[in-house]
Amino acid sequence: MSTPQTSIAPNAPALAAQVAPPSASLMSRPEFVWGVATASYQIEGAIAEDGRLPSIWDTFSATPGKVLHGDTGDGACDHYHRWSEDVDLIESLGVDAYRLSIAWPRVMHADGTPNRKGLDFYKKLLQRLADKGIQSFVTLYHWDLPQHLEDRGGWLNRDTAYRFAEYADLVSRELKGLVTGWATLNEPWCSAYLGYGNGHHAPGLSNGRYATQALHHLLLAHGLALPLLQANDPTAKRGIVANVGRGTTDSSKEADITAARRYEVQHNDWILQPLLKGSYPEELFKLWPGTEPLVLDGDMEIISRPLDFLGINYYFRCNLHSDGGTGFVDVPLEGVERTQMGWEVYPQGLEDLLRRFKDQYDRLPPIYITENGMASSDEVINGEVVDEQRMRFMKSHFAAVSRAMDAGVDVRGYFAWSLMDNFEWAFGYERRFGITHVDYQTQVRTLKHSGQAFKAFLALRRGS
């Protein structure tokens, strides 16, 4: 087992200042939750151990041409075996909380009975976190659908929503008392659009009608799970995590302004409006005519059940122009800062969206920023990883959240994406999002300068 390199430079205040939010920020309140985040398939590895079943991402990543360089999640960060060391790393950072996900294929057999070995893994992990005073925010579905359910139609099959409810029931009964907050789904937009709409993610299908129907069943699964989570683990918060995107235009043409608005309808309101208003945005189906999902009586009431919190994941904005019809095209701006993913660094977009959601949705629950981060091509040189761009990214986005809070947005916490470099889905291991570098050959973890600065900030916040 490797030992994380977590030393802090002697000048802690100067180091912390490289990422810290503005002085007197509401983010510095004692009750504000600071954390780091990961996801099961991206870090665990051990895909065939202790009864774990195949997932759609095992199938997808093993299909030639689907993932960059032919990478798979077979080994990932070997967290399944190194979890204790990784909890020590989390503790060393001084965070309040850790956001993780449960691997559905690891905890249930195909007949719906519990896989005790898989459940025991998460019980040990969560108990160790609790023993160290670290809150656990647990996501039930972070994209790793059991392959046997995909073979029966996956999220195109309404029955999958009911199988998810059974899974949520099992896991919340088994892990009750160990979880601070349950999130049903992570980024259903990605599961639906990237998985069923354009084929970029597992299961790799490409049909607009598939995307809207898959999204409806995902949200139905979410709504079905909420009362079960409440009954089984009543002291834990219940919510969902949505990825959001800022759409603007550099044009004054009405068609381009409309295109930018429709980007946000498709990217944000497609998810948030059914959750918070119980309806789908009509303008969505001007973008995608003829793709209205089959909605049965009572579905929208189930989907729009009250939430204790809303997780928001934010990474970038797009510059939109009209495609000449009802849709939009992304026209990348020149001369702007970008990350290894090619995404524009635009912290103002996070503030804009938080303020807009507050104004737009009367039922907006308290918000946690459950993912925010950037990829860079980091290397260990003389035992150090100097990632200055990530430190600037963190500081500017902390400031954006702080401004939104000053404007009255109820943000309760921030989770940096990610604790460590990991399997970045269709981009494999090339794109590094971690504040901790992972050598995938040796599994040595090295805290990057951004991680050291984050750690220094948290220590000063605690007064330690």
Which secondary-structure segment (H or E) carries 35?
strand 33-37
Contact 141, 184 (CB under 8 A): yes
Indicate the pLDDT class of residue 10, thresholds 50, 70 and 90.
Answer: low
Give residue for tokens 């990829």: 375
CATH number of the domain that residue 98 is part of = 3.20.20.80
The answer to whether the pTM exceeds 0.95 is: yes
pLDDT tens, position by position, 259-307: 999 999 999 999 999 999 999 999 999 999 999 999 999 999 999 999 9
pLDDT tens, position by position, 68-86: 999 999 999 999 999 999 9
Q: Is the pLDDT of residue 162 over 90?
A: yes
CA distances from 273 to 32, 193, 242, 247, 328 (A): 27, 17, 12, 17, 21
Residue 2 inside a domain? The answer is: no
Residue 108 inside a domain? The answer is: yes
Q: Is the pLDDT of residue 66 over 80?
A: yes
Residue 1 inside a domain? The answer is: no
The total domain count for the chain is 1
Among 174, 353, 341, 183, which Cα is nearest to 263's?
353
The domain of 338 spans: 12-462
pLDDT tens, position by position, 166-188: 999 999 999 999 999 999 999 99
Q: Which of 6-10, 57-61, 147-151, 220-224 has the lowest mean pLDDT?
A: 6-10
Indicate the pLDDT class of residue 463, thresholds 50, 70 and 90.
Answer: confident
Residue 383 inside a domain? The answer is: yes
Residue 364 inside a domain? The answer is: yes
Residue 246 inside a domain? The answer is: yes
Residue 334 inside a domain? The answer is: yes
- 371 belongs to the catalytic site: yes
Catalytic residue among 85, 371, 379, 430: 371
Residue 25 inside a domain? The answer is: yes
**Averaged pLDDT score across all residues of the chain:** 97
DSSP for 190-253, please give it: IIIIIIIISSSSTT----HHHHHHHHHHHHHHHHHHHHHHHHH-TTSEEEEEEEEEEEE-S---
Q: Is the pLDDT of residue 464 over 80?
A: no
Q: How many CB atoms lie within 10 A of CB 389?
A: 18
Q: Is the pLDDT of residue 5 over 60?
A: no
